[in-house]
Amino acid sequence: MTTATIETSIQDCLDCLRECETCADACLSGEMSAMMAECVRLCYDCADLCALCARFLIRKSSLHPEVCNACAKACELCAAECEKHASHAAHCQRCAEICRRCAKSCRSVAQAA
C-alpha cells in the first residue's frame, strides 16, 4: 500500500465527513424532515465512521483495515439512502457520490493491508 493511497483515503474520508454533515443538516432543515429521518441517521453514522477512519489511517493503527471496512459499509448504506432522495435533493446526490468514492477508497486500503 502506497502513501499516496492512504493519503487519498484520508482525504476521501474527510470529504465524506463534511458532505454527510452538510446533507444531514439540509435534511433536518427541509420541509420533509420527518421523511428524511433515516437519511439523517445514516449520514451521522457515516460521518462518525469517516472521522474515525481518517484518524486511524493518520496514526497508522494496526486496526485500520477493520475500521476502513466498517467505514466503507456505512458509506455504502448512506449512499443507497441518499440516492433514494437524489431527484429532489441536490445535497443527497452530492452526498451519495462522495460516499461511493469514499467506500471504494476505504475498501482498497483495507484489502491492501
Whole-Å CA distances, 16 to 32, 35, 75: 23, 22, 8
Q: Which helix (H) or strand (E) holds 23?
A: helix 3-29
What domain range is 44 assigned to?
Answer: 3-112
Question: How many of the other CB atoms lie within 10 Å of CB of 113?
Answer: 13
pLDDT digits (tens, 9 = 90+) for 4-56: 799 999 999 999 999 999 999 999 986 777 889 999 999 999 999 999 999 99
How far, in Å, CA of 53 to CA of 13, rounded?
7
Residue 1: per-residue pLDDT: 60
Domains in the chain, number: 1
- pLDDT, tens only, 62-71: 999 999 999 9
Supply the CATH number for residue 15's domain. 1.20.1270.360
